[in-house]
Structure 1
Amino acid sequence: MRESLFIKKNLSRWKQYQEEPIDDPDEMAERFVSLLDDLSYAKTFYSFSKVTRYINGLAAGIYRRIYQHRKEEVGRFQLFFKYELPLLFRQYHRLLLFTLVFFLAFCILGAFSSAHDETFVRGVLGDEYVNMTERNIANNNPFGVYKDTNPVIMFFGIAANNITISFFCFVGGIFLGLGSLYFMAQNGVMVGVFQYLFFAHGLGWKSVLVIWIHGMLEIPSIVIAGCAGLILGKSLLFPGTRKRLDSLRKGAKDGIKIMVMLVPVLTAAAILESFVTRHTEMPLVLSMFILLASLSFMLGYFIFYPIYLHKKGYRLQANGKVFIPGTFSKL
């Protein structure tokens, strides 16, 4: 298109933008995007023309007005947990699905192997633990292991252990993701064997009501840590257009952000295991409430809320800033 025709076609709209400023954020965003399209075309075909500088000035003016309307009330801490982390997690939902399926496959494998080989349970959990559990079952106290230790001491031990396991699941991703898959397989088999042990003694439903009070936070967190490890491995294997080192840095940064969220979740799981799980005779309603509340949080924050933000137009940009629709803010 000739420059004169390009100017004639768009001049009235440009003058409107210049002479009739508006305060509506959506309209400002629409005008800004429209000017960016014009500017891109002008830079391509008339890069040294006055019209290019004119359009650039209009776009800069609207950008400054947008910046003035930016939502400053969103603090960095709130921004991270309310927008940045869920939007980051949205990018890796498919990888999370793969990690979950992989983990569940080994859970099933552990339970299946236990059902067909009596020695398999002892090989995974150890003779001492199995013997102790069977003694507790015989004494009509199947979950006595959760009552034998001082709750405060138990909390610190469990919290440290869970965070350490999750850390290994994440760091194992540096070995092209194989380390994370190994820890996922190992923990998956252990969960399957552990759960089968109680089902085999007719305590399956009771074990769900007791053990999964803390397990509903703990086990999904380990799966998410494994996903963070696979993000690390994926960044090494498939750097895309980035240099491999830059891709690794981004993968490590994303994985660490996810791990930051898991620390308070695993701490909460340790609190439940130390102070709540020991009350094995709690009312069914209370047990179900804790289970459902934990499940709702994990599904809500890591699955449904990120999808909701994405559908509403919130985006995590390449530079790590959050785009909030309606304000054209980049926070």
Structure 2
Amino acid sequence: MAELALKSHRFRTEREADWRRLETLLDRIERGSARRLTTAELLEIPVLYRQALSSLSVARSISLDQGLTDYLEGLCTRAYFFVYGTRTGLWQRIRRFFAADWPGAVRSLWRETAASVAITALAAVAAYALSASDADWFYAFVPRDLAGGRDPTATAAFLRATLYDAPKDGQSGLSLLASFLFTHNAQIAIFAFALGFALCLPTAGLMAANGLMLGAFLWLFFSHGLGVEATGWLMIHGVTELFAVALAGAAGFAIGWSVAFPGRRSRVDAAAAAGRRAATVMMGVVVMLFVAGLLEGFGRQLIRADAARYAVALTSAVVWGCYFYLPRRGPAP
């Protein structure tokens, strides 16, 4: 034991100055920025890192004291992340996410997005047609307690008032409907993504369910001659909200498709690769739902002219379309 302690002491005495030098440089970086180091100091760090790795290897091979080995392991780990890890700051990462990562992930899922939109649209058309043929179908798609008088028995004057009249008690009936639709769509988005691994079937069902409610809602107002007005009211926030749900469905489809048809890769590897893209899309979906909530909360209350509502909806569609699908020359810095 005495011989081992002497050996450890000599080993540390010979090399400790280099370890301390590396530790000092890393402390300076972690307290501020690598820009504060000179060029010579920056070039010194990889050399000191390799020396520390060599020391760690020797310490392990000759079984030096555990405290020294733990110290060297921690020092090498810190240096590794500086030498080989990413050194972009938080704001750089956020900028890259919005400038390149998110739109790039969305573009890569254009087929899945088209499938989500198609399923939702077909379900909406089906609900519209079924409700038009028999008004009782409306209650199959919109719960009676949610309808709250906005059902096939309502008068056109009552429905029109819900679209334009300011609430007298702080919250109108249509405000409750709008809040329900937002919460409902947010839940659909989350579950469509989370359940995508089950071979796409739950995701497809959720997209269809969302379309059925949308179609029944539109039929109700169109049947009373208020289709244009109701569409403007809905789309002022619905363009962003429904597009977010479609993207969430696309993310779920991407995962489910990779599980069902992994190709030459294992199902785990294929699902992991699809999951990384899908997770990027879903982070952006959260942003879109937040924007939709702002539009629903402020735009619907403040904008009551049909032309202005359609202008906001069209602007939203153009902005999202250009942001996601216009070609980019290269990755963001």
1:163 corresponds in structure 2 to 186
Q: TM-score, normalised by structure 1?
A: 0.64
Contact 1:146–1:274, Cα closer than 8 Å, also in 2: no
| Structure 1 alignment gaps of length 5 or more | 1-71, 315-321, 325-330
Match of 1:228 in 2: 251
TM-score after normalising by structure 2: 0.64
Deviation at 1:117, TM superposition (A): 1.4
Q: Which amino acid aligns with 1:293?
A: T
Q: What amino acid sits opposite 1:298 in the alignment? A: W
Which structure exhibits the higher relative contact order, with contacts defined as CA atoms closer than 8 Å and separated by 6 or more residues? Answer: 1
Shift of 1:160: 4.9
Please name the residue that 2:294 is paired with.
271
* Pair 1:195-2:215 in alignment: no
C-alpha deviation, 1:243, in angstroms: 1.8
Letter in 2 for 1:300: C
Q: Deviations over 1:29-88 (max 9, x none)?
A: xxxxxxxxxxxxxxxxxxxxxxxxxxxxxxxxxxxxxxxxxxx89922111211122222
Distance 1:82 1:227, change over 3 A: same
Q: Deviations over 1:149-207 (max 9, x none)?
A: 559x9798776544322101111212111110010011111111111110001000111
- Counterparts in 2 of 1:198 and 1:284: CA distance versus 1, 3 Å: closer
Check conservation: 1:231, 1:251, Cα contact below 8 A.
Answer: yes
Across the aligned residues of Structure 1 and Structure 2, the Cα RMSD in angstroms comes to 2.9
User: Does 2:160 match 1:143?
Assistant: no
Give per-residue Cα distances to partners, 1:101-148, cap 9 Å, x unaligned. Answer: 122111111111111111000221123344521557443513379946
Q: From 138, 141, 166, give the equivalent of 1:121.
A: 138
In structure 2, the partner of 1:179 is 202
Please name the residue that 1:109 is paired with.
126
| Aligned partner of 2:266 among 243, 248, 251 | 243
**What is the rounded CA distance, in whole Å, between the counterparts of 1:127 and 1:205 in structure 2?**
24
The answer for the alignment partner of 1:88 in structure 2 is: 105
| Unmatched runs of 5 consecutive residues or more in structure 2 | 1-87
Compared CA separation, residues 129 and 115, structure 1 to 2 (3 A): same
Worse overlay, 107-116 or 285-294: 285-294
Identity over the aligned pairs, expressed in percent? 25
Segment drifting more, 284-293 vs 141-150: 141-150
- The offset of 1:290, in angstroms, is 1.1
Q: Give the direction of change, closer, same or farther, for the CA distance of 1:112–1:291 in structure 2 (3 Å limit).
A: same
Rg: which structure is higher? Answer: 2
Identify the residue that residue 315 of structure 2 maps to in structure 1.
293
Deviation at 1:298, TM superposition (A): 2.3
Match of residue 4 from structure 1: none
| Structure 1 residue 240: Cα displacement | 2.1
Q: Work out the CA distance in 2 between the residues paired with 1:191 and 1:128.
A: 17
Does the CA contact (< 8 Å) of 2:251 and 2:281 recur in 1?
yes
